[in-house]
Amino acid sequence: MEEALRAEGITKKYPGVIANSNVSITLAKAEIHTLVGENGAGKSTLCKVLYGETRPDAGTIRVFGKTVSFRSPSDALELGIGMVHQHFQLIPPFTVAENIILGARTPTALPGVSVLNFEIFDKKIVAISERFGLKVDPKARVASLSAGEKQRVELLKALYRDVKILILDEPTSVLTSSEVTALFSTLKQMVEKGLSIIFTTHKLEEAMKVSNRITVLRDGRVIAEKAAQDTNPHELANLMIGRDVSFEVKRQERVLGPEIFKVERVSVSDEKGFRTLNDASIHLRQGEILGVAGVAGNGQKELAEAITGCRRVDSGRILMKTSTDDRFADVTHYSAKQMIAAGVAHITDEPMRTGVVADFTIAENLSLKNIDEYARPPLGILIQKKMSDVANEAIQEFSIKARGPNQVSSDLSGGNIQRLVVARELSLKSLKVLVASNPTKGVDVALTEFIRNRLLDLREKGTAILLISEDLDEILAVSDRIVVIFNGKLTGSLKNEKPDVNMIGLMMTGLAGGENEEGRVELHY
């Protein structure tokens, strides 16, 4: 095996945390070597070390047989190492070409004159994109691109610099299934043309599809290295977690309670004034999980925000039983604060952007929605010890990997921020309705198992749950009923009893489904 890169004994410590402990891996020429592990297992730290973004406390790195030391990513780029980060590092107002050439050595229009020759850039970018199947318009503004297109720009940034080794940190976390398929096709083309790739993920089916070799990390240490052909997702999951992992959750049949929440012919517009949700009608009963299945971008975000008071409703009504009697209150124009007070919680699908206040501590973020419980009258001074005690309990219960309750939330990994958001929302006082938007998107198998079981626990306690997910397997695993959203309309409603999965898939793409007088199809099996 001819080596492209070898890392030996990599150790990186932060106050109270060992991110990498004596980690050693090798990357062969023209292979895809995948790093798998839970959120916080040390994958991203190792990638940053190999890219020169983080300096290790110990260990050595060899690139094409030469021992190297990186002072910055520029040193890594000089040696042919590029990296695409989990969160894109692009400037939205700039064009594709401007983002790609930023920081690169570029020719000017005239010698000695600082005028950039974009005709040359565009030709080179187009040539690279055609060679690797990365179609993108060099003149397009990045702000107008989809997540998949933005990722192509990140890949082109690296290829423009003639990298030989490419590090991809959780590259599929923001992609649709079709975009993932396209990415994998591109990666295989890259390997065929001689590139070597380090790929990180916690999605084990992806690791099996794309990898030559797989290294498992747990708690910052290498647990095992396997040839992809010699392992399987179940073995990898057990190695990742350190115990047997169940890929199935057990949803018990139960008698549902009365209706407590209704959305009646609600329409909502996006920030640009375009109608994104059209006459949507749903109802929720106590102890019921209603799954909303659909491809991303069909109005799910607007539905969740309308229900939780984060977006204005154009027309229609939202009704909720907010007291012990059987009367419904009109909560259509309640603010987010009023909806929280009424017992509506929201697990956002963008936890790092909208789920936490990045500069607040774990304790402060956990206290946000129950803040009155921590205020000492009459001045409202916060009782810090009580906040810390509650935070310590949540850290233990939800397995948040953190140095303590006073750690700033932005220092947490993505998966641990998701744990923080889930912990806060499930602790909401008088929780009646939970809106869970893609609660397991981008998280590892252990957290996926944990969240799904917590949803079923809440169901048993009588909480009404609206589960909005792009993962049809998740919808089928835990939902009592399923509705399908397409182009802002709810195009189906069926009981989750031996459902026709093919029919649901057709509904999700708009190829099947109709409407009754309430704006939905009733299919019972």
Side-chain-side CA neighbours of residue 81 (13 Å): 26
Task: Give the residue among 77, 101, 95, 92 at the shortest CA–CA distance from 137.
Answer: 95
With 0-12 / 13-18 / 19 or more C-beta atoms within 10 angstroms meaning exposed / middle / buried, residue 253 is exposed
- Mean pLDDT, range 83-92, rounded to an integer: 87
Q: Which of 427, 444, 459 delimits the end of a domain?
A: 427
Which is higher by pLDDT, 164 or 241? Answer: 164
Shared domain for 12 and 96, answered yes or no, is yes
Q: Token digits for 111?
A: 């010698």
Shared domain for 79 and 150, answered yes or no, is yes
d(C-alpha 201, C-alpha 356), whole Å: 23
pLDDT of residue 218: 92
Task: Give the residue among 172, 195, 173 at the shortest CA–CA distance from 182.
Answer: 172
pLDDT of residue 493: 73
Each residue of 114-157: pLDDT tens digit? 566 777 888 889 999 888 888 889 999 998 887 788 888 999 99
pLDDT of residue 111: 58
Residue 67 lies in a domain: yes
Q: Token digits for 290?
A: 């209603």
Shared domain for 126 and 182, answered yes or no, is yes
Q: Token digits for 192?
A: 């065929």
Residue 413 lies in a domain: yes
Each residue of 377-387: pLDDT tens digit? 777 788 888 99
517 C-beta neighbours (distance < 10 Å), count: 6
d(C-alpha 288, C-alpha 422), whole Å: 19
Measured distance between the N- and C-terminal CA atoms of the chain, rounded to whole angstroms: 55
Is 373's pLDDT higher than 90? no
Is 39's pLDDT higher than 90? no
Residue 350 lies in a domain: no
Each residue of 406-441: pLDDT tens digit? 999 988 877 888 889 999 998 887 899 999 999 987
Shared domain for 492 and 381, answered yes or no, is no
pLDDT of residue 222: 97
Each residue of 220-253: pLDDT tens digit? 999 999 999 999 988 998 898 887 766 667 777 7
Each residue of 183-223: pLDDT tens digit? 899 999 999 999 999 999 878 888 999 999 999 999 899 99
pLDDT of residue 106: 61
Q: Token digits for 239?
A: 């190695």
Crossing angle of helices 177-192 and 147-160, rounded to 10°: 20
Shared domain for 110 and 198, answered yes or no, is yes
* Backbone φ and ψ of 450, nearest 5°: -60, -50
pLDDT class of 279 with cuts at 50, 70, 90: very high
Amino acid at 238: N
Is 519's pLDDT higher than 60? no
Do 336 and 394 contact (CB within 8 A), yes or no? no
Q: Which of 217, 241, 265 delimits the end of a domain?
A: 241
Shared domain for 321 and 177, answered yes or no, is no
d(C-alpha 434, C-alpha 249), whole Å: 19
Three-state secondary structure along 179-212? Answer: HHHHHHHHHHHHHHCCCEEEEEECCHHHHHHHCC
Amino acid at 258: P
Shared domain for 150 and 216, answered yes or no, is yes
d(C-alpha 447, C-alpha 455), whole Å: 12
Residue 257 lies in a domain: yes
Q: Which of 222, 241, 260 delimits the end of a domain?
A: 241
Place of tokens 């932005």: 410
- Mean pLDDT, range 69-77, rounded to an integer: 93
d(C-alpha 366, C-alpha 387), whole Å: 8
Shared domain for 511 and 397, answered yes or no, is no
What share of the chain has pLDDT > 70, as a percent? 92
d(C-alpha 303, C-alpha 489), whole Å: 10
Count the residues in the chain.
525
Which is higher by pLDDT, 257 or 107? Answer: 257
For the four alpha carbons of 82, 86, 90 and 91, in that order, the dihedral sign comes to negative
Which is higher by pLDDT, 124 or 352? Answer: 124
Q: What is the longest distance spanned by two Cα atoms in the chain?
A: 81
pLDDT of residue 248: 66
Side-chain-side CA neighbours of residue 252 (13 Å): 10
Each residue of 292-314: pLDDT tens digit? 988 778 889 999 999 999 999 99
Residue 352 lies in a domain: no
| Cα dist from 24 to 64, 223, 275, whole Å | 16, 11, 52
Which residues have a Cβ under 8 Å from the Cβ of 403 and sit 6 or more positions away? 15, 16, 17
The domain that contains 195 carries what CATH number? 3.40.50.300
d(C-alpha 64, C-alpha 197), whole Å: 14
Residue 87 lies in a domain: yes
Residue 203 domain boundaries:
3-241
Do 452 and 476 contact (CB within 8 A), yes or no? no
d(C-alpha 254, C-alpha 257), whole Å: 9
- Mean pLDDT, range 506-513, rounded to an integer: 70
Task: Give the residue among 150, 177, 250, 211 at the shortest CA–CA distance from 25.
Answer: 211
Residue 506 lies in a domain: yes
Each residue of 256-273: pLDDT tens digit? 889 999 999 999 998 878
- Mean pLDDT, range 457-464, rounded to an integer: 93
Task: Give the residue among 302, 226, 252 at the shortest CA–CA distance from 457.
Answer: 252
Shared domain for 371 and 386, answered yes or no, is yes
- Look at strands 481-486 and 489-495 and give their pairing: antiparallel
Beta bridge pairs of residue 68: 61
Shared domain for 420 and 436, answered yes or no, is no
Shared domain for 178 and 301, answered yes or no, is no
Shared domain for 382 and 303, answered yes or no, is no
**Strands across the sheet with 289-293, in order?**
344-347, 433-437, 464-469, 289-293, 481-486, 489-495, 522-523
Residue 49 lies in a domain: yes
pTM: 0.70
Number of domains in the chain: 3
pLDDT of residue 136: 87
d(C-alpha 147, C-alpha 370), whole Å: 35
Residue-averaged pLDDT of the chain: 87
